[in-house]
Structure 1
Amino acid sequence: MPEGANHLIHSTSPYLLQHAYNPVQWYPWGEEALAKAKKEDKPILVSIGYSACHWCHVMEKESFENDSIADLMNKHFVCIKVDREERPDIDQIYMDALQAMGQNGGWPLNVFLTADQKPFYGGTYFPPQGWAQALSQIAKVYETKRNEVEASANELTEAIATSETIKYQLASDHSDITVASLDSMFRKLSTRFDREKGGFNQPPKFPMPSNWLFLLRYYHLTKDPLALSQIELTLNEIANGGIYDQVGGGFARYSVDANWLIPHFEKMLYDNGQLLSLYSEAYTLTQKRLYKNVVYHTIAWLEREMTNEEGGFYSALDADSEGEEGKFYVWTNEELEVLLNDNAPLIKAYYNASEQGNWEEGKNILHKKLDDSIFAENHKITTEELQRIVNEANEVLLKEREKRERPGLDDKILSGWNALTVKGLVDAYNAFGEERFLNIAIKNADFITEKMMDGDKLYRNYKNGKASIDGYLEDYAFAIDAFAALYQATFDERWLKKAKELTDYTLEHFFDKEENLFFYTDNSSQKLIARKKEIFDNVIPSSNSQMAINLYVLGTIYDKNEYKNISTAMLSKVKSLLSTDIGYLSNWGCLYTYMATPTAEIAIVGENALAKRSEFVQRYIPNKVMMGASSDSNLPLMEGKTTAAGKTTIYVCYNKTCKLPVHEVKKAFDQLQKP
């Protein structure tokens, strides 16, 4: 071990490596640390964070690099560092424990455990004096009141090990799935709308893509103008705000204010992958140029800053550089004046920059307040001329920004987050027909299958040429979704086969047949004190809701009732919560929209199948599956479907009953209007 290093030095996680030279004798989670705690009869301190976490860095600098505090930690505890992005299973358990203690969750998450991993106390960020006091008090209590500590730990462990079905009173509801029920879900969600600035009414504001994807699908079914206006308001404000990197593309994790102006500057792959899907779908519906610009700009950022040579996508960019949050992204008035010369007044007005600054003293977060057409009219230039000037200015600013010290890059590759981004790229390809987007998606999907899979088993992470952590349900769920989307974009059945193989693996290794829900962890993976099920959608959709959608889609394509029946049973478990908690179940709500009306089964046969497919997806029709082949296919719903009159032929079907075959996409659209 290098001099001054601790046991994190051989980790794959950039977050753990950041702590590898702390005076704290950190261990990664594993048998060595757990055995040491039992052998020495010491409590465990597990500290959980991630590389782009601002307050994690603050606590490291204030406490974990402090020799006297490190001495306290090393003397009384076995100290374990966990990257929540590599080990979300551990994070999930101890976050539940913290909340069971009556505390608010967050990161860094610091939880104290007995030697057998049972939690008894915890918190998030501690200032250094408070942390030192807590360490001393906890060590004393553990030594002098062990029976009470263990009794409390047993009680907490029992609480967090309780089945989610019992905890949330999930009971099968076999009532009809109707559009009318969707209306009540929408009304409930609409009470939280911020109707001036978009999103929901309490800062901090997170983009929450699955909420807006649900509203897009709801609008498609109902044409409710309030749904569309709130979607457009939200997407406009996010795209124009400081949460969006106006110069370089890509979205920050959240906005600390109600106006989407002041971001927490870290950029996460999972946000950006989902937002590619959201803005692409919204463009297909609305044809707004702003949404197209956002997608193209964000993919340019993805290629430039987040892609390795093999085609894998990195996990995150830090919020900080040179010890300051956001320093890489903000501009002084003087910098803008010097760099932009004659165009400075126009660009400063466009991005609302001033001498005083619009954030901290003298610092400007670039953001827009007006639509380009309105701004151009106000300044008596054409929209095209404005766009040319803005693009040139952005190029200058981006080039200058590259000279600055860059935020830290979390260069581990996570299969689930990569798959979310593959899906976003496929959705962008569908919306814009840009072959480059599809090629990037295929290269990444090939990377996942070649570097992060062993047979039908999927791994969570990849770093330094090695995949080492068993995949979690979210990794499988998002990979299945991405591969199914790739099939429907390319009609290459190898992707569909991969999706089915992964699905069958999850049914064997993750599925709880008694409760009709999936566990988060593989039954062959390391055992923890609880085996959890992820039910509620958050900034990332829950793995169970995504698996329910996957089973519905693949069950339709493969005409496999087993899959569809499980999907229906899963939805029935949460159906009673949808009318009251749709904001936390919006991906389940998307599945509900698919089941509320018949799903169109589109089959295209002939040498121009892909061209017809590309034309077909230009119209917003979310409740469909697409199949195709240039000649033959063994898929059940392709059986008996051949070209008619020697021309590429389109079949529009519902529940395996097909309308008359047609050759023109327009005629197929006409058939879709009459299911």
Structure 2
Amino acid sequence: MGTNELGSSTSPYLRQHADNPVAWKQWGEPVFAEARERDVPVFLSVGYSACHWCHVMAHESFEDDETSAYLNEHFVSVKVDREERPDVDAIYMEATVAMTGQGGWPMSVFLTPAGEPFFCGTYFPAQARMGMASFRQVLESLTDAWRTKREQIDGIGESVVKQLGARKAVGQGAIDEATLTKAVALLKVDFDPVDAGFGQAPKFPPSMVLDFLLRHHRRTGDEDALRMVTQTCERMARGGMYDQLAGGFARYSVDRQWVVPHFEKMLYDNALLLDVYTHWWAVTGTPLAKRIATETADFLLAELRTPEGGFASALDADTEGEEGRYYVWHPDELRQILNDDADWVIDLCDVTGTFEHGTSVLQLRQDPDDADGWQRARTVLRTARARRTYPGRDDKVVAAWNGLAITALARAGVVLEKPEYVEAAVTAAELIRDVHLDETGRLHRTSRDGQVGTAHGVLEDYAAYAQACLTLLATTNGEQWLEIAEGLLRRVLDQFVADGTFFDTAADAEPLVWRPQDPTDNASPSGVSLAAEAFTTLASVTGSARYEEAATAGLRASAALADRAPRFAGRALAVAETQQAGPLEIAIVGDSAELVRTALTDAPWGTAVVSGRPGSDVPLLAGRDLVGGRAAAYVCQKFTCRLPVVLPEDLRRELRTAR
């Protein structure tokens, strides 16, 4: 019944399954052609490399010869990396949630040869337990139903596609001042006054909401907004979700106290959190903010950077078949390694036996009295941990997530005076330009080892990379980045927008059973929120009304969500804050690192900052010149500029007046 085809994939997740006895196919029309020819259903399994339960199901079922033989005989099996094909993941996750009331990964969906879902689930155990049918029982029941109830199955698939694929209405209304005020009020209600963060366990890092609250505080002076940010950033950074030895945040906290992490480390989380902690430091000057921002950026460069200069997608949660084993410590192990310092570190880091076998993650609930002693202990523990089995790394480069990292690193590099971060951002941007962007202007979503993948870019890829290029306009004096950003966003208008509605896939992309569109800012920003941000910046740089209108249209898609569930519209709310203030523009003519740093630090996040030579072709720089032969900064709004200043302290004064 065919052979496993995953060995040729550029996805590390798919390659993990290349030795399965399942005759896995890669997503594409040949899958459905074979299903039609054999008259069997399609089994779609969706996951990602850092997914713990994906590994469990693979070990229990997909590595089992008997189960695999049954699959191969009665189904066409297709494996999808959700990070490589978010469009496929999105539509079938929508079906899974609609049909079962919940979603998650691994996602197990059974399709007709027309691609219509008729049965959905997530993890199925190898043996029936806790009210869950075994995977083999599910397969046998569906095989029988396919043979005896075919008309009913076809009807279910057609109905699901009809209902979920119905054209969404164009977003109405706007995220106005009343919406922003209401959003802050709702977030206050949802805020955990004891342990910080929002809602109950599990707690995810609310990066985009924190960015919105910081922007809102800077514009309005709302101290409650800043308090929520400060408490949440402190608790996240001092708990077990943060790697106290080497920096970097885990995916989320299982408990409400931020103690027990789900251990995988994702690029998008760490890029977004780097930007939040940089922003928090710019607003408050808090030493903790600067330390966490620096350590998180260092983590990106040390552990996620690829040989080609991009950033890998994730580090796995599991090592040696056990989740978190790389990161946890037993008190006896610490005593053996640290000798006389052990009891002090055990107390400082709250090593109380939270996990199996009496192990704990390290926390740092307060700054140590002996800072030098803690740094010595960290060095010893890092050396000891390096002898453990390192977590697996998904080293595919995703355009959207690299865009987030480029933006965060470029901004942090200037604000924190770390030029190596800016250099890393430029190198990653060049990789996306040279490998992912083809001669037609189409952006491809992934690459690995410098080889571009087959998946076309979705809206978030175009928008996040465009925003990254626009950020580099401030930090590199490179006019080429504007040309790239404008080309990407023109393609967004041509291919991703129809009748004022933003879609997540291009009009000329592979057709699916329906065209996905989702404005939710969830684990990472939605494509439409990122597009609204990039269009806002591009409008400020070029003065184009067309781009300004596109930004407004993008925010309309999120207006209803922002009004009723602001936790899931954080990026849209942040962009709306920038628009509500009337976006500032800062043109810096000439070479002045201090003026650029002042602009990026003291201006509200979302301000378009451009630096370049006199006579530059960048519209915001047009007609601006040096002042007395010195570099000068022009603070503008709607291309109406104040008198230029040449001193950083004068630029700070201008920005205070503008606010």
TM-score of the alignment, normalized to the shorter chain, above 0.5: yes
In structure 2, what is the equivalent of residue 379 of structure 1? none
Which of 58, 69, 72 is the aligned partner of 1:71? Answer: 69
In structure 1, what is the equivalent of residue 159 of structure 2? 155
Shift of 1:298: 2.1
Q: Distance in 2 between matches of 1:525 and 1:657?
A: 41
Question: Aligned ranges for residues 49-60 of structure 1 at < 5 Å?
Answer: 49-60=47-58
Q: Distance in 2 between matches of 1:490 and 1:436?
A: 13
Q: Distance in 1 between matches of 2:589 and 2:203?
A: 46
In structure 2, what is the equivalent of residue 264 of structure 1? 262
Checking the alignment, whether the CA contact within 8 Å between 2:313 and 2:395 is kept in structure 1 is yes
Q: Is 2:506 the counterpart of 1:522?
A: yes
In structure 1, what is the equivalent of residue 31 of structure 2? 33
Mark the runs of 5 or more structure 2 residues left unpaired by the alignment: 128-133
Q: Is 2:389 the counterpart of 1:405?
A: yes
Q: Distance in 1 between matches of 2:389 and 2:606?
A: 46
Checking the alignment, whether the CA contact within 8 Å between 1:555 and 1:563 is kept in structure 2 is yes
SS of alignment partner, residue 422 of structure 1: helix
Residue identity in the other structure for 2:515:
R
SS of alignment partner, residue 371 of structure 2: helix
Which of 647, 662, 668 is the aligned partner of 2:651? Answer: 668
Q: Is 2:176 the counterpart of 1:172?
A: no
Which of 439, 447, 453 is the aligned partner of 1:462? Answer: 447
In structure 1, what is the equivalent of residue 536 of structure 2? 552
From the superposition, tell whether residues 628 and 248 of structure 1 become closer, same or farther in structure 2 (CA, over 3 Å): closer
Which of 357, 360, 367 is the aligned partner of 1:364? Answer: 360
Give aligned-pair identity as a percent: 37
SS of alignment partner, residue 120 of structure 1: strand
Q: Distance in 2 between matches of 1:115 and 1:617?
A: 53
Q: Distance in 2 between matches of 1:622 and 1:262?
A: 32
Q: Is 2:483 the counterpart of 1:497?
A: yes
In structure 1, what is the equivalent of residue 595 of structure 2? 612
Checking the alignment, whether the CA contact within 8 Å between 1:22 and 1:65 is kept in structure 2 is yes
In structure 1, what is the equivalent of residue 398 of structure 2? 414
SS of alignment partner, residue 80 of structure 1: strand
Q: Distance in 2 between matches of 1:413 and 1:654?
A: 37
Checking the alignment, whether the CA contact within 8 Å between 2:411 and 2:600 is kept in structure 1 is no
Partner deviation per Cα, 1:186-207 (whole Å, 9 max, x = no partner): 1012211111111112111110
From the superposition, tell whether residues 636 and 18 of structure 1 become closer, same or farther in structure 2 (CA, over 3 Å): closer
Residue identity in the other structure for 1:195:
P
Mark the runs of 5 or more structure 1 residues left unpaired by the alignment: 377-385
Residue identity in the other structure for 2:497:
F
From the superposition, tell whether residues 302 and 627 of structure 1 become closer, same or farther in structure 2 (CA, over 3 Å): closer
Checking the alignment, whether the CA contact within 8 Å between 1:216 and 1:227 is kept in structure 2 is yes
SS of alignment partner, residue 657 of structure 2: coil
Checking the alignment, whether the CA contact within 8 Å between 2:396 and 2:447 is kept in structure 1 is yes
Which of 422, 425, 428 is the aligned partner of 2:412? Answer: 428
* More off after superposition, 618-627 vs 474-483: 618-627
Q: Distance in 1 between matches of 2:18 and 2:57?
A: 15
* More off after superposition, 526-535 vs 83-92: 526-535
Q: Distance in 2 between matches of 1:570 and 1:315?
A: 27
In structure 2, what is the equivalent of residue 645 of structure 1? 628
From the superposition, tell whether residues 522 and 573 of structure 1 become closer, same or farther in structure 2 (CA, over 3 Å): closer
Residue identity in the other structure for 1:461:
T
In structure 2, what is the equivalent of residue 485 of structure 1? 471
In structure 1, what is the equivalent of residue 131 of structure 2? none
From the superposition, tell whether residues 72 and 145 of structure 1 become closer, same or farther in structure 2 (CA, over 3 Å): same
Checking the alignment, whether the CA contact within 8 Å between 2:586 and 2:599 is kept in structure 1 is no
SS of alignment partner, residue 6 of structure 2: coil
Shift of 1:150: 0.5
Partner deviation per Cα, 1:41-71 (whole Å, 9 max, x = no partner): 0000101001110001111111112222222
In structure 1, what is the equivalent of residue 130 of structure 2? none
Q: Distance in 1 between matches of 2:315 and 2:562?
A: 35
In structure 2, what is the equivalent of residue 285 of structure 1? 283
* More off after superposition, 195-204 vs 654-663: 654-663
In structure 2, what is the equivalent of residue 621 of structure 1? 604
Q: Distance in 2 between matches of 1:347 and 1:226?
A: 34
Q: Distance in 2 between matches of 1:157 and 1:621?
A: 44
Q: Distance in 2 between matches of 1:222 and 1:589?
A: 14
Which of 120, 136, 142 is the aligned partner of 2:140? Answer: 136
Partner deviation per Cα, 1:553-609 (whole Å, 9 max, x = no partner): 101110111000121133234334422121111111111111212222212223x33
In structure 2, what is the equivalent of residue 473 of structure 1? 459
Checking the alignment, whether the CA contact within 8 Å between 2:187 and 2:198 is kept in structure 1 is no
Checking the alignment, whether the CA contact within 8 Å between 2:459 and 2:496 is kept in structure 1 is yes
Shift of 1:171: 4.0
Q: Distance in 2 between matches of 1:642 and 1:65?
A: 67
Residue identity in the other structure for 1:463:
R
Instruction: Give 4+ residue runs of structure 1 displaced > 3 Å after superposition.
Output: 608-611
Checking the alignment, whether the CA contact within 8 Å between 2:308 and 2:449 is kept in structure 1 is no
Checking the alignment, whether the CA contact within 8 Å between 1:249 and 1:300 is kept in structure 2 is yes
Q: Distance in 1 between matches of 2:414 and 2:168?
A: 37
Checking the alignment, whether the CA contact within 8 Å between 1:103 and 1:123 is kept in structure 2 is no
From the superposition, tell whether residues 65 and 485 of structure 1 become closer, same or farther in structure 2 (CA, over 3 Å): same
Q: Distance in 2 between matches of 1:499 and 1:194?
A: 39
In structure 1, what is the equivalent of residue 338 of structure 2? 340
Checking the alignment, whether the CA contact within 8 Å between 2:3 and 2:24 is kept in structure 1 is no
Shift of 1:5: 6.6
Q: Distance in 2 between matches of 1:26 and 1:310?
A: 29
Checking the alignment, whether the CA contact within 8 Å between 1:281 and 1:620 is kept in structure 2 is no
Q: Distance in 2 between matches of 1:231 and 1:190?
A: 11
SS of alignment partner, residue 454 of structure 1: coil
* More off after superposition, 413-422 vs 64-73: 64-73
Q: Distance in 2 between matches of 1:569 and 1:56?
A: 38
Count of aligned positions: 650
Q: Distance in 1 between matches of 2:513 and 2:427?
A: 38
Q: Distance in 1 between matches of 2:566 and 2:236?
A: 22
Partner deviation per Cα, 1:253-281 (whole Å, 9 max, x = no partner): 11111111111111111111111111111
Partner deviation per Cα, 1:473-520 (whole Å, 9 max, x = no partner): 1111110111111112223211122111111122222221x1x23221
Q: Distance in 1 between matches of 2:110 and 2:179?
A: 45
Shift of 1:661: 2.4
Using the size of structure 1 for normalisation, the TM-score is 0.93
In structure 1, what is the equivalent of residue 194 of structure 2? 196
Checking the alignment, whether the CA contact within 8 Å between 1:113 and 1:120 is kept in structure 2 is yes
In structure 2, what is the equivalent of residue 448 of structure 1? 432
From the superposition, tell whether residues 387 and 117 of structure 1 become closer, same or farther in structure 2 (CA, over 3 Å): same
* More off after superposition, 22-31 vs 153-162: 22-31
Using the size of structure 2 for normalisation, the TM-score is 0.95
SS of alignment partner, residue 361 of structure 1: helix
Q: Distance in 2 between matches of 1:558 and 1:490?
A: 18
